[in-house]
Amino acid sequence: MRRLICLAMLLLVPFTASYAGNKTVSPQVDLLSITAHRIGEKTGDELYMTITTYPSEGKPSHYRIPKFPSHWMADKLGQINDIKLWKESIKPDQAVTIVFSLIEQDVPPWNTDDLIGTIQLHLKNVNGQIESKWHVVNFLAPPTIVHTKQGTAEKFDLVSEDGHYAVYLLMK
């Protein structure tokens, strides 16, 4: 009887290990804060972010935060914190690329919106663990690791002729 129990336990161990590596994960990216270093317009910048996702399987998606017609005023950025930008489930061996763009809103058709900067995040589910790689399209310096009360965040300096902003993102 003991041998039967030991044999059963030995057979279950590999099954349990392989099952743990094949789980779906649900990472989340939060906007912790935005800080203005230089505002592009004399009357103040009106900001929003667009989030575009490109999953390895399925259709891309695109949305805006805050939703149109809302925006964040540059002089009120201190009130913006802990905003969930993205959260999705990633199945085993699948990946997603997420593009976060900070945009200064203008009044069409006379003046089009201005791109401040773009951050790209590539996530892949490898054996139930998330592999991540950040990439900044236009930047002054590579992202900086910042320790916050919410966790270890990434600080990105996004710069264009239309402004200079520090964006703090946290992946959970």
List, for residues 3-13, the tens digit of each pLDDT value: 544 433 444 44
Q: Determine the average pLDDT of the residues in 26-38.
A: 94
User: What CATH number should be reported for the domain holding residue 145?
Assistant: 2.60.40
Q: Per the structure, how many domains does the chain have?
A: 1
Split at pLDDT 50, 70, 90, the class of 129 is: very high
> Helix or strand or coil: residue 139?
coil
pLDDT in tens, 73-126: 888 888 888 999 999 999 999 999 999 999 988 776 777 788 899 999 999 999
Q: Between 35 and 7, whose confidence is greater?
A: 35
Q: Which residues pair with 50 in a beta bridge?
A: 64, 101
Query: What is the span of the domain harbouring residue 62?
Result: 25-171
In a domain, 45, yes or no: yes
Q: What is the pLDDT of residue 43?
A: 78
C-alpha span between 27 and 86 (Å, rounded): 8
Q: Strands of the chain (E only): list them.
A: 28-39, 46-55, 61-65, 72-73, 83-87, 95-104, 114-126, 129-136, 144-148, 151-160, 163-171
